[in-house]
Amino acid sequence: MKLSQRTRKLWPPLAVFGALISGWYALAYSLDNNFASGDGSALIIPPPHQLFVGLNDSTIDRIISATYISASTALVGLLTATIIGILVGIIMNLSRSLESALWPWLIALQVTPIIVLTPIIVRVAGPTFGARVLVTVLIAFFPIASNTLFGLRSVSQPLHDVFTLAKCSRWQRLAQLELPAASPAIFAGLRVSAGLAVIGAVVGDFFFTRGTPGLGRLITYFFQDTRSGPMFVTALVTAFLGLGFFVVVETLRRLIVSPWHQT
């Protein structure tokens, strides 16, 4: 019997998933002293079927609350980074002088690890939601800015000439030609930034020692309390949060760009 196209597409990721689960089991049962002598619960790495052992209502509430903090930080951060990134790309596209003035500082910001900037931001702005968002924006906006600039600069000369001959204003050229033409590149940047926004929200959270913890701080609590199960669940929730952001951006890209752009 021939496999349907859908099945053929599905089985490679399922095979990798099976291999990962097998490896996880192998690792959990190969570690010395991984299981307590009494109730047999995992101490270091819980095997998949023990993940939810020890997850009481209070722990679940803490994970939900931390997920809300991190998700809202990542969402507001990504939206802000998108607006700022596109604006910076447009500004740099206005003139080579503006590009050469801004570009070195953007590179400097990009290559500086966010982990060393976060304590400075917390010290200056305090452990506020705004400070969390700022950390996320700093890590997420560069791919959008650089891809926007690349996309705007990629518009062909004949297309510019068509708009010049039609005596279009600068705004019409931007809105009707440059931004639509740059949208595939902008979405390519957004896909990278979506993952970075979640990373920024979680990593930045390590330094926010007051208020309700986000996923980053919660995972350190579970680590310090040697609660392997909740720690792994929190890690999985973080992974799914990143995946969710990616899926939303990818869905938007498919709706807006894919119908006319062959990728």
CA distance 181 to 179: 5
Q: 254 or 261: whose CB is closer to another protein?
A: 261
Single-letter amino acid, residue 263: T
Residue 118 burial by Cβ neighbours in a 10 Å radius (0-12, 13-18, 19+):
buried
105: contact with another protein by CB under 8 A: no
Q: Helix crossing, 179-205 with 129-153: angle to 10°?
A: 150
Q: How far is the CB of 226 from another protein (least distance, A)?
A: 55
Determine, following the binding rule CB under 8 A, whether residue 262 of this chain makes contact with another protein. Answer: yes
Torsion sign across C-alpha atoms 75, 78, 83, 86: negative
Q: Which is nearer to another protein, 98 or 175 (CB)?
A: 175
Measured distance CA(140)–CA(192) in Å, rounded: 8
Length of the chain: 263
**Is position 252 an interface residue for another protein (rule: CB under 8 A)?**
no
Do 81 and 73 meet the contact criterion of CB atoms below 8 Å apart? no
> Could you tell me the smallest distance in angstroms from the CB atom of residue 163 to another protein?
9
What mask of x and - would describe binding to another protein in positions 122 to 161, judged by CB under 8 A? ----------------------------------x-xx-x
At 6, the amino acid letter reads R
**For another protein, the closer CB: 177 or 248:** 177
Site string for another protein, 155-194 (x = CB under 8 A): -x-xx-xx-xxx---------xx--xx-x-----------
Q: Which is nearer to another protein, 12 or 259 (CB)?
A: 259
CA–CA separation, 261 and 152 (whole Å): 16
Closest CB to another protein among residues 103, 150: 150
Residue ranges binding another protein (CB under 8 A): 156, 158-159, 161-162, 164-166, 176-177, 180-181, 183, 259-262
